[in-house]
Amino acid sequence: MQEGYLPEGFVEDAWYVAAWDHEIGPDALFARTLLGRPLVFYRRADGGVVAMDDRCCHRAAPLSIGRREGDCVRCLYHGLKFDPSGACVEMPGQERIPPMARVRTYPVVERDRFVWIWMGAPERADPAAILSFFWHASPEWAMKPGYIHYQAHVQLIVDNLLDFAHLSYVHPTTLGTARNAQVRAQVEPIDGGLRITRWALDDEMPPNHRRVARFQGRVDRWQIYEWHPPAFMRMDAGSAPAGTGAPEGRIADVAMKFRHTSVQTPETARTSHYFFCQARNFALDDPAVTEAIFQDVSTAFAEDCAMIEAQQKILDATPGFRPVATVHDQALTMARQLVRARLQAPSQETTP
């Protein structure tokens, strides 16, 4: 990590989210840049996802503007064809195919509606290390997946998610109440990450909860979330009628329980992919509730995006910036230390 305010480089040895499952269709080629590398994705006939460098080994033409041929991809510059392993299996006008005629492929796993990709050394890719987001596909939860493209460094998005004090000011009509800026979070290390716990007892109901609530009045509200490096947040959140025992684990039937996902994958050093959803365990068969929740969260995240992209512009103009810390910075400071450790790990390497 460099001495400046933003980290330099990417954590290579990690599972990243490349896409929601629906983004990679059964027939088309799908292009997306991750960690500064242009990649192309497609599905084999059996439905499995292939990920490879979006760069023909001949003259660096993008394979994403080529075409699918069975389980292979043909470059439409000079016609080289590559199989799912990345090996060139046809070179028009040439019988002998040199062994170096291949493109790099990447380990891919589909789980919980995410397409996961391992960007580091393939021999270190362990699918058991992939975090669970079970609510994405569980019949006990309903959600609509979302995506935002950010013109900002991924660390600024992580910082924002680890400091919910901003909800009072950035999201006064969507996610926040005046209490958010006053509540001190409890931050504790967990296996490889952090757990952040926030309770607002006898508080007003936040606007996004009020729009789908099954009760009225004051609430006991919780936000209990886990963060794992490089950039994964899983949150258990909700509102219950005040005084009904939610802090002790007694959740009233009319309470609103949510599971939230916020996952970021760097695109470049100054742009990022953001995958999100807000799942719920009530009114599961009501698409209007699904859409209302999705629109509220999308509006709130657009508010975040506007602030963070403006922040990025200021940081680019003032590279020597040094922050003045507040009491709300504990979690983001600890998270940055975890990222720094991953960047400096002995196994970390930049792959070609």
CATH number at residue 233: 3.90.380.10
- Does residue 3 fall inside a structural domain? no
Residue 268's domain comprises: 138-343
Do residue 120 and residue 163 come from a single domain?
A: no
Is 5 within the bounds of a domain?
no
Whether 349 maps to a domain, the answer reads no
**Alpha carbon distance 30, 52 (integer Å):** 11
Assess whether 265 and 285 both reside in one domain: yes
In a domain, 71, yes or no: yes
pLDDT of residue 350: 47
Asked if residue 185 lies in contact with residue 331, where contact means CB atoms within 8 angstroms, the answer is: yes
> Residue 9: inside a domain, yes or no?
no
274 occurs within a structural domain = yes
Answer yes or no: pTM beyond 0.85: yes
Low-confidence ranges of the chain (pLDDT < 70): 1-3, 164, 168-169, 171-183, 347-352
Q: How far apart are CA 282 and CA 290, in angstroms?
A: 10
* Model pLDDT, residue 11: 95
Residue spans of alpha helices (H) in 134-265: 154-161, 167-170, 207-210
Residue 319: inside a domain: yes
pLDDT in tens, 12-32: 999 999 999 999 999 999 999
Burial of 292 (0-12, 13-18, 19+ CB in 10 A): middle
Q: Are residues 172 and 294 in the same domain?
A: yes
The reported pLDDT for the residue numbered 2 is 39
Cα distances (angstroms) measured from residue 310 to each of 171, 305, 306, 313, 317? 16, 8, 6, 5, 11
For 250, the 3-state DSSP assignment is coil
Last residue of a domain, one of 68, 94, 128: 128
> Three-state SS string across 11-65, please?
CCCCEEEEEEHHHCCCCCCEEEEECCEEEEEEECCCCCEEEEECCCCCCCCCHHH
Pair (115, 213) in one structural domain = no
Q: What tokens appear for 176 in the block?
A: 């926040």
Same domain, 106 and 189: no
- 21 residue type, one letter: D
The CA-atom distances, in angstroms, between 282 and each of 19, 241, 255, 287 are 27, 15, 9, 12
- Note the pLDDT of residue 212: 87
Asked if 296 and 203 sit in the same domain, the reply is: yes
d(CA 19, CA 32): 9
Residues 62 and 111 in one domain: yes
- What is the DSSP secondary structure assignment for residue 342, as one 8-state letter? H
CATH number for the domain spanning 84: value is 2.102.10.10
Q: Are 151 and 294 part of one and the same domain?
A: yes
- Structural domain total, the chain: 2
Are residues 196 and 244 both part of a single domain?
Answer: yes
The verdict on 228 and 321 lying in the same domain is yes
> Which of 73, 98, 128 delimits the end of a domain?
128
Which residue type sits at 301?
A: F
Chain centroid to Cα 36, Å, comes to 16
The reply to whether 120 and 174 lie within a common domain is no
Residue 199 in domain: yes
141-195 confidence digits (pLDDT tens): 999 999 999 999 999 999 988 886 777 667 656 655 555 555 677 899 999 899 9
Residues 124, 158, single domain; the answer is no
CB 219 within 8 A of CB 204: yes
| Half-sphere exposure for 217 (CA within 13 Å, toward CB) | 10
